Each structure stands twice: as structure tokens, then as C-alpha cells.
Chains A and B, each alone.
Chain A
């Protein structure tokens, strides 16, 4: 899922990440288009293949988020959607005659786009990140980070990390308090820490090609020079891609299932028990109300 205000390059980043034009920008095309009154949820499902491995990718776009003059509760449709997927999974899980492989529509990862102001997080960002991180894996990224000089980027990241910690927002990867059983665990922990240090990823996206040193790469040709999306000196796109796709894709799915979904399930079943206790009827596990 991608969450962020209009014009932060969400669609472009997704298309850059998966090296294919998967989604279109949902920005308004004409002046006469009426502005969105609420956050919409738009899903698209794509099947992609790399080296014989098939991936069914569902992208949830959230146009309208943060775009209105009054953005109170603009996050509600998003949280509702995330919970609905858990709900539907739970229902299927509890069915006596359930499918062998339940179609998993749960949101495994939410990319949260932060505007590159260079100052600090907006009040809306803080409120929404907190709400979302209670329900799913949230990975904050600094959008259009080519607007920041290296020094500004460093300060901005530091500031964002301070605020995230101050407000108690728990991001992915979650801190693992288990013991180190062996070298592999320790290495994994180190890697997780490294990632936590890099977050938020300062990214630049592009579907356009530019020529750098005779090679054609994806990038942007601005008036200052040519930005190469894959150049680690220019932005952290490569880090994000490695993290999301190469190393932690499976772990995110697992964490969604074992942590976030389980939390949801526990809360639901407890609430169910209480309400059944009050109603004094025999427990009927199919009703998740």
C-alpha cells in the first residue's frame, strides 16, 4: 500500500521499484475535475515473473489522502481497509470447511511518503503513521529527496527519527528481543539495525531513461544535472529495493501474519467472547461482527 499526499511520486516509485508501469498517477487531469472529498482506496493486482519466480502483486493506492483543506480523519478509510482484510481472512480461517490456501489479501507493507520539507514531520504524518503502524508494517520514505542536499537530508532524517521515537511509533523491522542463538541470528539482527538506521529511505523515482557515461539508466534530468536513480550517492532507492524485494519480502509477509494479524485476531476474539458472555448465548465463532 502507498500512502501520501498527491504529488509525492507514489505511482512513479512503484513503477520504478517493479521496473514496470503498474499504476497510473491519480492526480486530477483538468482544472474542472472536482477535488476528492475523501481518501479513496484503489486496488490493482498484477502478476509478475522474474527468473521463474511468480509474484502476485496487489498495489493499494490511496488518492485523496491529505489533500483536502480539512484532513481530519482522512486516515480512516485506510485503517478500515487494512482491518477489513484481516477481518475477511479471520472469517475464512474460522469457517469449518475452509479452503486449503486462503487467498491472502492482507496488506503486508505500507510505504508512507513524507514530503521533503527538510524541517520535521507534519502533525498529520505523525498521527497517521502511529495509527497505521499499530495495524501493519509501515516503512516511511522521504519522497522526491532530490530536493534536499546531502546535508539537509542527513538533518531531516535525524529529525524524523527523533520524532518517531518521541511519539512511540513502532516501525518495521520490529525490534527483536529474542536471544542470539547463533552467528546467523546475530548477522540478521545487525542487518535489521542497519535498516533501522537508514529509515526513512530518501528516494527518487523515475520511469524515464537518461544517459550517464554512455549507459542508459533510469533517472531525471534536472537543471542542476542528471540524477541516476540507481546511484547510491544520489538516493537510497537501491537500499529500499533490496530491503523490500531482495531480503525482507518474505519476512514482511510473515510479520504481518504472525504479529499484526494475530494481534487483530486476539482482539477480535476477546471482544467476541465478552459480547457473547454478555448476551449469554453459545459461542458462534463465525460471527466477527
Chain B
């Protein structure tokens, strides 16, 4: 049988109207109908405004205000992973947004390995997708993979902390890492530039591969310029606010201080707009693509090679036999467990009986 992929491709010009130029619209219609889905993770020490920024990004109160709890002697011992989902809509386009919060990161006296639960969570999502992908029935694929991870840097104005470097080094290769300078309204213009330069130096020195938005050659000059503007601002110096304040008579989203008002949506006040542009408006699909086509594939390849499979995922000619084997093993395990539990149960019943008998005799 001739191999289709080896037939040379010939380019031809059209002589009349065909109609396939409408394909993008068809795709658009289908996508809008299907709806979009995005999974975002936020990482950073307590009090850097993570929840507020998420609320600001999506203009929705996804995170309620942190209640003031009573001071207590016991505190959590490990980093938690908390996910919330929200369905939001804009102009008829539906977005299912999943946000993963990581409370506890960087908050303990000893933060060694605080990156571990986070890395494990990201990898388990890859594992889950890998498992679903290998199933016989793939009708309902649920994609929980993390498309972007925003890392919050404290506005010290100096350099990255050892914990920042440790975390970013370990996670940059398995998730799209977007560093931001949190609460940047406390820094002056000069301090922000100096801080940004130093952060990028630190990142380069430690060879951390943060997310780099790509351009395409065919992009128009306007898009290219927009792209350049965005890239020049990384790491984004952000300010978040989910409430409105009065600024010279108009209501804006921002923060009101005795010495003035910061307007979150004003690009001369902070880089929030650029972050939102990149994350939501222009690069959301690209972030997803990069996760799916590069990060996930790298993880998948590594994992499968590590488990000894090199050519295809099914080493035998008959793909079904592998599942048969697995199912048999699983059933065996189940029946063994069942037998064990039965034995334990019977033993306990016997014990109880003998106890009752003993007390009756007395």
C-alpha cells in the first residue's frame, strides 16, 4: 500500500471562488459553542495579594475576603492545594476557569521542600491526563493540566530570595512560569526598574526558563509591537484591587492612600493591564498549547521511557492483552483484599463472642 505521507505536495492557484476561507469562522463558532477552559495556579507567600489579583484579573469575586480568624497556637504544617472553579462569560464566550491556590507556601519557619506538594500536584494532573489518554474509551477526557503558574515575588526591591530561586528552578520545566512583582505600588519608578533588571539577572544566572511568549513571522506590525511591549515588562509589577475607589470624581478599581490613588487599570501605575493582556486576551491559547504540546509531551516521554517503554505505549502487538493483564492483576488484588478483610472480620467476631461468653459465665 502506498504511503500517503511520502507523496510530494504540489501548490496550485485557484481559478474561482471556493469558500474555505470561512474555516476560521467555523472554528470560531464551534469553539464558542464548546466553551473554553483554563487552569491557573498562583504561588507566593501569604499576604502578597494573590487572591486579590485573581479577583482583579477576572473581574469577579472568585476569592472571598480572608476572614479574620482568632489567633491560635496550631497552624498548618504543610503547603495545601486548594482549587476553585468558576464559569464566567463575556460577550457570549464561556470560560471555565480553574484557579489553584497554594496556601502555606513560604510561610513556615522551615520551608524546605515546600515546592514538593506543588510539583506533585502538577505532575499528578499530567499523570491523570496520561492515564485518560491511554484508556480504551476516550469520550470523556477531563483536562485538569495547569496552563500557567503565576509566581508572586515580594517587593523587597533587592533581589530574588533563595526560596524564590529554589521554587522557580524546580518548576519552570514542567509549567509555564510567569513571575510577577506583588504589591508593586510600594516601589518608586526607579526601584521597579532596578528590581526588574536584577530579577532577570538572577533568573538568567540560575538558568530558570520562565515562560517566553512567542511571535510568529506572519504577525502584523501592530501585534508585533504589542508583543514587544508585553515582553519588555516581564516580570510584571502588579497591583490588585477588587474594589472601587474615588479618583478625582471618577470611580476606578484601585487603592486609595492619603497621598494619592493607584488605578489598577492605568498602565502608568502598574503592569496589571499587560499581565491581563498576556494571560487572558492574547496568550491564553498559546499558554495552553505550550502546556499541551511541549510541557506535557516532555513529561509523558520522560515518564514512559522511565518505565521502559520506548517505541509505543503498547509493547505487545495486541493492545487489548495489556489491559487484560492489568485487569486480571487488579482483580486478583481485589479478591485477596476481600479475603483478608473477611478473615479479619471473622476473627473480630470470634473475639467478641468469646468475650461475651466469658462475661456470661461470670
Contacts and interface: CB of A to CB of B under 8 A. Distances in A.
Nearest to B260: A225
Contacts of A27: 156, 158-159
Given A69-B162, A115-B47, 7 more contacts: A31-B198, A35-B162, A69-B166, A117-B47, A123-B109, A144-B155, A223-B262
Q: What band does the interface of chain B fall in when counting residues whose beta carbon is under 8 Å from A?
A: 35 or more
B334 to A, nearest CB: 43
Interface stretch (B127-135, B183-191, B211-219): B183-191
Nearest to B66: A119
Contacts of B119: none
A149 B256 contact: yes
Nearest to B237: A223
Which 8 pairs between the two chains have the least Cβ-Cβ distance?
A7-B156, A117-B47, A225-B260, A31-B205, A147-B186, A27-B158, A225-B259, A224-B260
A224 B245 CA distance: 13
B154 interface: yes
Q: For B187, B204, B258, B269, which residue has the most chain A Cβ atoms within 10 angstroms?
A: B258
Interface residues of A, number: 50
Contact of B156 (A8, A117, A119, A146): A8
A181 interface: no
B36 interface: no
A203 to B, nearest CB: 13
A265 interface: no
Interface string B227-253: 000000000000000000000000000
B171 to A, nearest CB: 15
A6 interface: yes
B319 to A, nearest CB: 46
Contact of B257 (A7, A25, A127, A146): A146
A115 B154 contact: yes
A8 B107 CA distance: 17
Contacts of A144: 155, 186
B111 interface: yes
A173 interface: no
Contacts of A8: 156
B54 interface: no
Contact of B189 (A70, A118, A123, A223): A223
A116 B206 CA distance: 28
Interface stretch (A15-23, A48-56, A161-169, A279-287): A161-169
Interface stretch (A80-88, A101-109, A227-235, A248-256): A227-235
A150 interface: yes
Contacts of B188: 220-223
Given A69-B162, A115-B154, A224-B269, A147 B185 contact: yes
Contacts of B268: 223
Interface of A: 5-8, 25, 27-28, 30-32, 35, 67-72, 115-120, 122-124, 127, 144, 146-147, 149-150, 155, 159, 162-163, 166-167, 220-228, 231, 233-234
22 contacts: A6-B156, A6-B158, A7-B156, A27-B158, A27-B159, A35-B162, A69-B110, A69-B162, A117-B46, A119-B47, A122-B46, A146-B257, A147-B155, A147-B183, A147-B186, A162-B71, A222-B187, A222-B189, A222-B260, A223-B188, A224-B259, A225-B260
B157 interface: yes
Contact of B47 (A118, A146, A231): A118
Contacts of B178: none
Contacts of A233: 258
Contact of B158 (A25, A116, A146, A155): A25
Contacts of A32: 205
A117 B48 contact: yes
Contact of B75 (A6, A31, A123, A146): A123
Nearest to A235: B258
Contacts of A72: 109-110
Contacts of B187: 222
Contacts of B202: 31
